[in-house]
Structure 1
Amino acid sequence: MNNAVFHRPQLAAEVVNLALGRNALGRAGAGVFLAGQRRIGKTTFLLQDLTPALQSEGVHVIYVDLWANKEVSPSELIANAIARDLAEAQGAVAKMAAAIKAVTIHGVSFDLQDVGRKAGASLADALKELQASLGKPIALIVDEAQHVAAEGKSMDVMFALKSARDTLNVDGKRKLLLIMSGSDRDKLLRLVNTPRAPFFGAQIHDLPALGREYSAHVAGRLVQAHPRLKISNEAMDAAFERFVRRPEPFEEAIGQAANPLAGPDADFHARLNFEADKYERKLDEEHEEVLEALSPLEAAVLRWVLEHGPGARLFTQNALTFYGQAVGRSVGAGSARDAVQALRNIEPPVLWKSDRGDYALENTDMLRWYRKRMDAGT
């Protein structure tokens, strides 16, 4: 079965209309913020659907993935992408061939021969120059934008983008469109939900998970590749749900189940459900292994976070009392802080800390697993 992309043109058109201000009910002046869990096809949508839809409107698109290299600061990743496109645009315009030697975008310096108008150009200067060179609006798509809110990751670049937006978008004309995606809605909220946030007041829209249209699309491709199989769209979608609506493991499982050497054609759906069983066990075992490796106090802290959700305060008297009851001894703030730090130092980390000092789960899948276990009474 080939890996044809499942396109979502209607969803892309809705996001484009929001970004361009055509949706009277949407407040996208501060930018469009899209939240969607990991591995549900978010990046594919941004690159394969949203980018072409914006380009068809005459918009130049810059795409940056802040998780492409976690060792590089968000400021540098964003600035590099802008500087690269500016250098390419200026290279195509003869009158700009004598531009300056270096650009500094929010503390990040670029030794580029043809970037900007003057040494030390700001991010707003670089974007303004790029927009003028291209003669068209620019859309900056920042994937995994919540990464800037983590401790040690400067939020300043977002304030710089806000400044650039305010500089370029005057007289009702949108020359700079900011589109931010995030795999954790609660972390993305750090960009919009307080007066000190760079995009205070902006709305976060939940990116819909792939639904029945996608599972039917996959079923159609499967029938084309293996006409001998009798496929039920209903059964395919039920199986897809068990893969948490994640296309990659779902399609890998289909490849296993549809293998002619795997067994009789009539047993395809039974084999696919068997693959779903394995996937669910794999997810459960990953979280169970994390929990089993923790000390009693670390496990108590984790459970407090799971039970109290985003914004849980970890060092209140109520929290310390909970930890003490869990481990059978008195727990002070110092011991609790050591446990919290240990949860952040695990590879991969269990807890995430924002630049404001609050905590959240690093992997929100663990909350889904915990609630499933609670519902089952286990």
Structure 2
Amino acid sequence: MTEIFRRPKLAQELAKQLLKPSVLDLGLRSGLFMFGPHGTGKTTFLIRDLAPALEKGGALVVYVDLCSAPQRSSQDMVEEAIREALSERESEALGSELDIVIDGLGMPGGATIAEVLKTQVDRAKSDIVLIIDEAQEAASTQEGQGIMKALKAARDAINIRLETPGHFMLIGACSDQAACIKMTTDQIQAFYGAVNMTYPLLGKDYVAFLLARLQQEGHCNLPTLEIAEQLFRAVHSKPVELIRALLQFQGPTAIGSSSAEP
């Protein structure tokens, strides 16, 4: 039994909306900002489910978590993530011309993010999706707002063309709901007008998966699925908190015996 709860259907649906949008989904190309509280499995979904689904659809996916290195600026982290992802792609396929452009990203007199991403799209003839986890961090500083403006410039330079071989899309995942809404509704924000959505919380299928895994590991005295689901909702759909609640059914010797990763 797999150790990670997967959400392939949700990931495939969202990837299709992003990469092959219907008329009603075209607004996603302006940007997608997703709110999900801390500890609800949002990051796991982005990395383990959504990114692979986007890559399967032919997109180059760049992921960066702005809270992974609090001492660093949002601009440095985004630029480094783009350089690393594009350099890896170049080493596999496209040759040295774009390497020179990539190396200059973030350097004085070097290429802008818009120039680098546009060159990549034109050469690879594919989409680029940048996933920024904890995106609200970029809105809290002047340099962070600057990198968001640079990403908007890249979006416009690539997506507005009459004929483009690919598109650039931004997914901003936020754990602060007010900040997430502000990034798409405040006219001074770079991605004003982008789509805002709430991360679909884990549900009964996750609870059933967890109970089955615990049973397989030999845990006894587990609650019924209905009671476990009620516990999950009571702890705001947070896997770690559900594990703690279930441990009460096991006794003190069971503490720490199971992983809470969704």
* TM-score bracket for the superposition, by shorter chain length: 0.7 to 0.9
SS at match of 1:61: strand
Mapped partners of 1:137, 1:10: distance in 2:
21
SS at match of 1:28: helix
Matched residue, 1:131: 121
Matched residue, 1:352: none
- Where does structure 1 lack aligned partners over 5 or more consecutive residues? 111-118, 263-378
Q: Does 1:171 align with 2:170?
A: no
SS at match of 1:166: helix
Stretch moving more, 16-25 or 191-200: 16-25
Mapped partners of 1:15, 1:91: distance in 2:
29
Q: Offset at 1:220?
A: 1.6
Matched residue, 2:184: 192
Matched residue, 1:109: 107
Stretch moving more, 83-92 or 63-72: 83-92
Q: Offset at 1:261?
A: 4.9
Q: Offset at 1:244?
A: 1.9
Query: Which residues of 2 match residues 329-368 of structure 1 at below 5 A?
Result: none
Stretch moving more, 253-262 or 77-86: 253-262
Matched residue, 1:82: 82
Matched residue, 1:211: 203
Change (3 A) 1:36 1:101: closer
Matched residue, 2:34: 34
Q: How many residues align?
A: 251
Q: Offset at 1:65?
A: 0.6
SS at match of 1:199: coil
Mapped partners of 1:196, 1:261: distance in 2:
54
Mapped partners of 1:230, 1:87: distance in 2:
49
Q: How large is the RMSD of aligned CA atoms in angstroms?
A: 2.7
Mapped partners of 2:111, 2:210: distance in 1:
49
**Does the 8 Å CA contact 2:152/2:190 hold for their aligned counterparts?**
yes
**Does the 8 Å CA contact 1:19/1:32 hold for their aligned counterparts?**
no
Matched residue, 1:121: 111
Q: Offset at 1:154?
A: 2.6
- Where does structure 2 lack aligned partners over 5 or more consecutive residues? 255-262
Q: Does 1:182 align with 2:180?
A: no
SS at match of 2:202: coil
Q: Offset at 1:5?
A: 1.3
Greater C-alpha Rg: 1
Change (3 A) 1:228 1:249: closer
Q: Offset at 1:47?
A: 0.5
Q: Please give the TM-score of this superposition, normalised by the length of structure 1.
A: 0.60
Matched residue, 1:45: 45
Q: Offset at 1:226?
A: 2.1
Q: Does 1:67 align with 2:59?
A: no
User: AA paired with 1:127?
Assistant: L
**Does the 8 Å CA contact 1:39/1:248 hold for their aligned counterparts?**
yes
Q: Does 1:244 align with 2:236?
A: yes
Q: Offset at 1:253?
A: 4.6
